[in-house]
Amino acid sequence: MRVTVRLFARLRDIVGAARLTRELPEDATARLLWNTLAEEHAGLVAYRDAVSIAVNAEYSKMNRRLADGDEVAFLPPVSGG
């Protein structure tokens, strides 16, 4: 399956892209997707326990099973206001 990844703030800087697509095995979780990205971009490793996730613009969890066409956003700690 194919998913879209959205990255924000420092995570975007680390990866060098705001949006990318990834091919994943069926039954892949958001955690698997994150681990795949962290293997490619070592700077992400520090965020392992400091990242929130949204799937299709709803907050979700790392154990979420993804589906073809999902938009998965990885969110560093927020600083609005």
Partner 1 sequence: MGVAPFAVTHEPLRVDDLMLAVGGPVEGGRPLVGAVTMFLGLVRGENLGRRVVRLEYESYEPLAVKVFERIAAEVREHWSGSRLALHHRLGALGVGEASVAIAAAAPHRAEAFAACRYAIERVKQIAPIWKKEFFEDGHTWIEGALADPDDRGAREDAYRRACA
Could you tell me how many residues of this chain bind partner 1 (CB under 8 A)?
Answer: 20
d(CA 33, CA 71): 12
Can you name the residues that pair with 36 across neighbouring β-strands? none
Q: Does 37 bind partner 1 (CB under 8 A)?
A: no
Q: Does 9 bind partner 1 (CB under 8 A)?
A: yes
Q: Using an 8 Å Cβ cutoff, are 74 and 14 in contact?
A: no
For partner 1, the closer of residues 27 and 67 by Cβ is 67
* DSSP 8-state symbol, 46: G
Residues that bind partner 1 (CB under 8 A): 6, 8-10, 13, 50-52, 54, 57-59, 73, 75-81
